[in-house]
Chains A and B, each alone.
Chain A
Amino acid sequence: RKEVEQDPGPFNVPEGATVAFNCTYSNSASQSFFWYRQDCRKEPKLLMSVYSSGNEDGRFTAQLNRASQYISLLIRDSKLSDSATYLCVVNQAGTALIFGKGTTLSVSS
Chain B
Amino acid sequence: DADVTQTPRNRITKTGKRIMLECSQTKGHDRMYWYRQDPGLGLRLIYYSFDVKDINKGEISDGYSVSRQAQAKFSLSLESAIPNQTALYFCATSSPRILAGAGDEQFFGPGTRLTVL
The answer to whether A and B assemble together is yes
Does B33 contact A96, Cβ atoms closer than 8 Å?
yes
Contacts of B109 in A (CB 8 A): 43
Instruction: Judge whether A54 is part of the interface by a CB distance below 8 angstroms.
Output: no
Contacts of B35 in A (CB 8 A): 99
Residue-by-residue, is A73-106 near B (CB-CB < 8 Å gives 1, otherwise 0)? 0000000000000010011010011111110000
Does B42 contact A87, Cβ atoms closer than 8 Å?
yes
Does B41 contact A34, Cβ atoms closer than 8 Å?
no
A39 CB → nearest B CB, Å:
12
A residues 31-87 near B (Cβ < 8 Å) are 31-34, 41-46, 49, 87
Query: Size band of the A side of the interface?
Result: 20 to 34
B residues 29-59 near A (Cβ < 8 Å) are 33, 35, 40-43, 45, 48, 56, 58
B45 CB → nearest A CB, Å:
5
Residue in B33, B100, B110 whose beta carbon sits within 8 Å of that of A43 in the complex: B110
B residues 99-117 near A (Cβ < 8 Å) are 100-106, 108-111
Contacts of B106 in A (CB 8 A): 44, 46, 97
Contacts of B111 in A (CB 8 A): 41-43
Instruction: Judge whether B88 is part of the interface by a CB distance below 8 angstroms.
Output: yes
Does B43 contact A44, Cβ atoms closer than 8 Å?
yes
Instruction: Judge whether B90 is part of the interface by a CB distance below 8 angstroms.
Output: yes
Residue of B whose beta carbon sits closest to that of A32: B103
A99 CB → nearest B CB, Å:
4
Residue of B whose beta carbon sits closest to that of A2: B42
Give the one of B42, B100, B102, B104 with max A CB within 10 A.
B42
Give the one of B56, B101, B109 with max A CB within 10 A.
B101
**Cα distance, A49 to B35, chains bound together (Å):** 21
Does A42 contact B110, Cβ atoms closer than 8 Å?
yes
Contacts of A45 in B (CB 8 A): 108
Contacts of B58 in A (CB 8 A): 96
Q: B interface vs A, CB < 8 Å?
A: 33, 35, 40-43, 45, 48, 56, 58, 88, 90, 100-106, 108-111
Q: A interface vs B, CB < 8 Å?
A: 8, 31-34, 41-46, 49, 87, 90-91, 93, 96-102
